[in-house]
């Protein structure tokens, strides 16, 4: 880890552009944490649920992912708030990046040796707990260090990292020929991925230990939408867009297996994620830079949501392998723009520099809460309320609503 800059700079609005080396460290850490999540969610947990209880695989999978997502709802803002208060000589963020990686590795290794639903629950909850600590810290590093005029570009690279992480995670989950080997590969990759950031973080130390009062700490997790309406609208729109995305992607393995009839759904998921990733790459970085140059965010996010809704409709009306490929392409185009520009938008509606990680953690509840709600909605829809066509129409409708409500944000163009 590098020596922190002068401590009185910890809360200052950043002015100097960040280096490519720093950006690479942030991007790779994001790749690692999303690989640790998406490899299990898209492939390994589904395979493990099928191996443990084939007759009730949807229930086991939904239970494990739903409880894990509930953990993440609490963990992300909690660890974000704790990192805001951290006075380590290595800075506020770097210690939690390291601790999160180590804890996430432990959870993945427990999953690797689990042969029961209880073991899956324990391992996945640990992964969610500690990887959210890592994510809260690495996400807050961006508004800590990146000036506003560069956030669209850096947000594009972070968006690319999430996509590459998904591709890497699915690749690791399928490349080693077994559930246990897949988990171990994800664990090793997670640990290695944070090392470049830890070596070049330049994380800034707080000038003094903040006064801590438990009542104020707990109250701080409520950000009044009346006092900060743009923050409230940003939270709601992200929640809706992520709920639509969760409804559309959570059961992709089973969609290929049961609706499309694809012979090897694990490999099918890998192919679709690869295709999707190519189109996210093609749109994420240039759209973030374009947004920086125009000084506009909302129009990009709105149209990205519209395109994502169209991708979900393709999956609803065309449940074939060709349709799945077409849906992956359309979703990739929309999601690349959304991830890069929406992240820049969010950093511009944060109420306080002192509480950046906590406030971003509250925003990230809008990422994780849909993972709790989506299984409760998707399972009955798939089983008794119309199957996958109804599920993907619902995903499109929710996504479109989120895209329209972005216009309610007033302080960002």
Tens of pLDDT, residue by residue over 120-140, are 999 999 999 999 999 988 888
Token pair, residue 403, equals: 């895209």
Q: Mean pLDDT across the stretch 315-322? A: 90
pLDDT at 356 > cutoff 70 = no
d(CA 330, CA 316): 13
d(CA 89, CA 95): 9
pLDDT value at residue 10: 54
Task: Give the pLDDT band of residue 144 (cuts 50, 70, 90).
Answer: confident
Q: Torsion angle, CA of 117/265/370/410, rounded to 10 degrees?
A: 160
pLDDT value at residue 75: 86
Query: In this structure, how many other beta carbons lie within 10 angstroms of the beta carbon of residue 177?
Result: 8
pLDDT value at residue 223: 63
Q: Check residues 210 and 310 and name the one with the higher pLDDT.
A: 310
Identity of the highest mean pLDDT range in 50-59, 208-217, 308-317, 343-352: 308-317
| Residues 39-51: tens digit of each pLDDT | 898 889 989 998 9
pLDDT value at residue 189: 97
Task: Give the pLDDT band of residue 5 (cuts 50, 70, 90).
Answer: very low
Task: Give the pLDDT band of residue 4 (cuts 50, 70, 90).
Answer: very low
Task: Give the pLDDT band of residue 210 (cuts 50, 70, 90).
Answer: low
* Cβ proximity of 190 and 33 under 8 Å: yes
Angle, CA 198 vertex, CA 194 and CA 201 arms, to 5°: 120
Task: Give the pLDDT band of residue 6 (cuts 50, 70, 90).
Answer: very low
pLDDT value at residue 208: 64
Please tell me the least confidently modeled range out of 195-209, 214-228, 239-253, 369-383: 214-228
d(CA 289, CA 40): 32
* Cβ proximity of 170 and 38 under 8 Å: yes
Integer CA distances (angstroms), 321 to 58, 258, 271, 328, 386, in order: 22, 12, 11, 11, 20
* Cβ proximity of 266 and 252 under 8 Å: no
Which stretches of 201-264 are DSSP H helices?
Answer: 214-219, 229-249, 252-254
Tell which residue, 301, 362, 358, has the closest CA to residue 334.
301
d(CA 136, CA 33): 11
Identity of the highest mean pLDDT range in 10-19, 80-89, 355-364: 80-89
Residue carrying structure tokens 């086991």: 60
d(CA 142, CA 151): 8
Query: In this structure, how many other beta carbons lie within 10 angstroms of the beta carbon of residue 274?
Result: 14
Tell which residue, 186, 162, 3, has the closest CA to residue 106.
186
Tell which residue, 343, 409, 362, 302, has the closest CA to residue 146.
343
d(CA 33, CA 105): 10
The secondary element (H helix, E strand) that includes residue 307 is helix 298-317
Tell which residue, 197, 119, 127, 114, has the closest CA to residue 169.
127
d(CA 324, CA 255): 10
pLDDT at 239 > cutoff 80 = yes
d(CA 243, CA 138): 23
- Yes or no: domain 8-205+225-408 corresponds to CATH 2.40.50.140: no
What is the number of H-type helices and E-type strands within the chain?
A: 16, 0
pLDDT at 118 > cutoff 90 = yes
Task: Give the pLDDT band of residue 363 (cuts 50, 70, 90).
Answer: confident
Please tell me the least confidently modeled range out of 53-67, 158-172, 302-316: 158-172
| Residues 15-59: tens digit of each pLDDT | 677 778 888 998 999 999 999 988 898 889 989 998 998 888 878
| Residues 86-115: tens digit of each pLDDT | 777 787 888 999 999 999 999 999 999 998
pLDDT value at residue 12: 59
* Cβ proximity of 279 and 332 under 8 Å: yes
pLDDT at 184 > cutoff 90 = yes
pLDDT value at residue 13: 64
Task: Give the pLDDT band of residue 322 (cuts 50, 70, 90).
Answer: very high
Please tell me the least confidently modeled range out of 98-107, 204-213, 383-392: 204-213
pLDDT value at residue 386: 78
Q: How many residues can be counted in the chain?
A: 413
Integer CA distances (angstroms), 290 to 26, 152, 242, 264, 341, in order: 21, 8, 23, 39, 9
């Amino acid at each position: 880890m590098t020596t922190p800059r002068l401590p009185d700079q910890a809360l200052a609005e950043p002015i100097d552009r960040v280096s490519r080396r720093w950006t690479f460290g942030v991007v790779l850490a994001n790749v690692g944490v999303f690989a640790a999540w998406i490899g299990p969610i898209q492939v390994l947990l589904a395979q493990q649920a099928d191996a443990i209880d084939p007759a009730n695989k949807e229930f086991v999978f939904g239970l494990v992912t739903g409880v894990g997502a509930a953990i993440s709802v609490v963990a992300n803002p909690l660890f974000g708030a704790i990192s805001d208060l951290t006075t380590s000589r290595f800075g506020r963020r770097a210690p939690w990046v390291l601790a999160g990686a180590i804890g996430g590795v432990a959870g993945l290794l427990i999953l690797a040796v689990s042969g029961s639903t209880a073991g899956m629950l324990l391992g996945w909850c640990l992964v969610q707990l500690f990887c959210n600590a890592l994510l809260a810290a690495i996400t807050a590093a961006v508004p800590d260090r990146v000036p506003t005029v560069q956030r669209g570009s850096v947000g594009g690279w972070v968006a690319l990292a999430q996509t590459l992480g998904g591709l890497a995670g699915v690749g690791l989950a399928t490349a080693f020929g077994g559930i246990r080997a897949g988990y171990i590969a994800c664990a090793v990759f997670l640990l290695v991925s944070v090392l470049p950031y830890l070596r070049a973080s330049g994380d800034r130390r707080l000038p003094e230990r903040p006064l801590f009062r438990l009542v104020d700490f707990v109250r701080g997790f409520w950000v009044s939408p009346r006092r900060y309406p743009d923050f409230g609208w940003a939270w709601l729109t992200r929640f809706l867009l992520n709920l639509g995305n969760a409804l559309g992607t959570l059961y992709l393995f089973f969609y290929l297996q049961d609706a499309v009839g694809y012979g090897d759904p694990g490999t099918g998921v890998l192919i679709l994620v690869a295709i999707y990733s190519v189109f996210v790459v093609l749109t994420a970085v240039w759209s973030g830079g374009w947004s920086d140059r125009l000084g506009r965010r909302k129009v990009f996010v709105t149209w990205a949501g519209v395109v994502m809704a169209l991708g979900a409709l393709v999956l609803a009306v065309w449940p074939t392998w060709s349709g799945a490929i077409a849906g992956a392409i359309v979703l990739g185009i929309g999601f690349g723009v959304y991830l890069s520009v929406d992240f820049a938008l969010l950093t511009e509606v944060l109420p306080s520099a002192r509480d950046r990680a906590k406030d971003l953690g509250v925003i990230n509840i809008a990422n994780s809460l849909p993972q709790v709600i989506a299984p409760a909605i998707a399972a009955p829809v798939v089983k008794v309320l119309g199957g996958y066509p109804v599920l993907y129409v619902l995903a499109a409708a929710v996504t479109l609503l989120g895209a329209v409500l972005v216009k309610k944000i007033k302080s960002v163009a």
